[in-house]
């Protein structure tokens, strides 16, 4: 995961530094594999190249080789996936950092928690890709797909196909 995120975010950083603006950011998927070798999505998300201050490189992808606290939204700081999941699943985190979102994640992913070394219930895999705004997403009819729209398309389709597995809250189809 770390190697993949670093390689793909380096593409984004190079694009931003060059001023080409070809890439929107990083699309990522946390998933498991079924007994029949099917990919079962667990979480779909994105980390955009451009930061909140307009034009600046996003702090979520800047300096990842030196600072992994944000790590394309998967950082170990609080308000990031690994940090907030750790607050629930690993002993000795402040209880005020525990959220219902990551309690749900921990329930799906770990046998017991909190523990010093939580054990996964299932093998968990990770995929990520630097996304060009000119690329066609999962729905050919839409043609070139911006990152934000791609994320919502993927969440919508995955929530219909795998409603019991997907951990995303936003963008899911309502039952």
Q: What pLDDT digit, counting tens, does each position of 82-96 carry? A: 999 999 999 999 999
Task: Quickly state the pLDDT bin for 63 (edges 50, 70, 90).
Answer: very high
pLDDT of residue 173: 52
pLDDT of residue 69: 93
The pLDDT tens digits for 100-119 are 999 999 999 999 999 999 99
Per-residue pLDDT, averaged over 6-29, amounts to 98
pLDDT of residue 157: 95
pLDDT higher than 80, residue 1 = yes
pLDDT of residue 172: 57
pLDDT higher than 60, residue 174 = no
Candidates 5, 63, 52; CA nearest to 29 is 5
pLDDT of residue 101: 96
Residues 6+ apart with CB under 8 A from 122: 32, 109
Q: Are 12 and 26 in contact (CB under 8 A)?
A: yes
pLDDT of residue 143: 95
Say which range, 16-25, 49-58, 146-155, has the weakest mean pLDDT: 49-58
Helices (H) and strands (E) in the chain, counts: 4, 3
Task: Quickly state the pLDDT bin for 175 (edges 50, 70, 90).
Answer: low
In angstroms, the CA 148 to CA 96 distance is 31
Candidates 38, 10, 25; CA nearest to 150 is 25
In angstroms, the CA 32 to CA 125 distance is 6
Residues 6+ apart with CB under 8 A from 35: none
C-alpha to C-alpha distances, 93 to 24, 90, 112, 116, 141, nearest whole angstrom: 34, 7, 16, 11, 47
- Say what the pTM is: 0.93
φ/ψ of residue 24, rounded to 5: -90, -35
In angstroms, the CA 105 to CA 80 distance is 13
């Amino acid at each position: 995961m770390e190697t993949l995120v670093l390689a793909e975010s380096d593409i984004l950083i190079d694009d931003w530094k060059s001023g080409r603006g070809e890439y929107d950011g990083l699309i990522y998927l946390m998933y498991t594999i079924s007994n029949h070798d099917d990919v079962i999505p667990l979480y779909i998300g994105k980390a955009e190249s451009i930061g909140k201050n307009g034009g600046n490189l996003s702090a979520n992808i800047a300096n990842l080789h030196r600072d992994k606290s944000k790590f394309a939204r998967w950082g170990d700081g609080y308000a990031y996936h690994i940090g907030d999941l750790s607050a629930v699943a690993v002993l000795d985190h402040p209880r005020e950092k525990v959220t219902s979102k990551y309690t749900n994640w921990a329930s799906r992913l770990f046998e017991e928690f909190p523990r010093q070394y939580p054990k996964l219930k299932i093998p968990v895999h990770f995929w990520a890709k630097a996304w060009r705004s000119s690329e066609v997403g999962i729905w050919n009819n839409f043609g070139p797909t911006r990152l934000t729209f791609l994320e919502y398309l993927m969440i919508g389709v995955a929530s219909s196909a795998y409603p019991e597995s997907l951990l995303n809250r936003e963008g899911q189809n309502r039952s």
